[in-house]
């Protein structure tokens, strides 16, 4: 009698986890413009201005990302981990960037060791 209950409970729990993961991913898909840069290390004003004026990211539902933060990302991929609190962007050159992430419907905050950037959905 306990096995059917355990099976049903496990299936319900997995479904709930999957739905919460998809919600973060669904909120992430689309185009984002960098609106705020908070350096944690020394960054020139020129670099900060470049990030603010040219910085943007576009995430697709099939796991690809393109855009620019410090440099162009033309054919990158992304993955959400830790229930959407960590975003890994892997450039087309293979370099992975791990970011702490806060994702809402219209704002994305990415934190690294060098800086925290805030993006607004466009």
Q: What share of the chain is helix, strand, coil (3-state, %, to 5)?
A: 35, 45, 25
**What pLDDT sits at residue 22?**
52
DSSP secondary structure code for residue 43 in this structure: -
Q: pTM for the whole thing?
A: 0.76
19-65 pLDDT, tens digit each: 344 567 889 999 999 999 999 999 889 999 999 999 999 999 999 99
């Amino acid at each position: 009698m306990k096995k059917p209950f355990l099976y049903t409970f496990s299936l319900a729990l997995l479904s709930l986890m999957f739905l919460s993961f998809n919600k973060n991913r669904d909120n992430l898909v689309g185009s984002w413009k960098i609106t705020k840069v908070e350096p944690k290390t020394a960054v020139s004003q020129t670099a900060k201005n470049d990030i603010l004026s040219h910085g943007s990211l576009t995430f697709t539902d099939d796991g690809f990302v393109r855009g620019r933060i410090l440099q162009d990302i033309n054919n990158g991929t992304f993955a959400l981990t830790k229930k959407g609190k960590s975003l890994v962007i892997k450039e087309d050159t293979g370099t992975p960037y791990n970011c702490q992430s806060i994702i809402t419907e219209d704002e994305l905050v990415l934190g690294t060791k060098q800086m925290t950037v805030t993006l607004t959905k466009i």
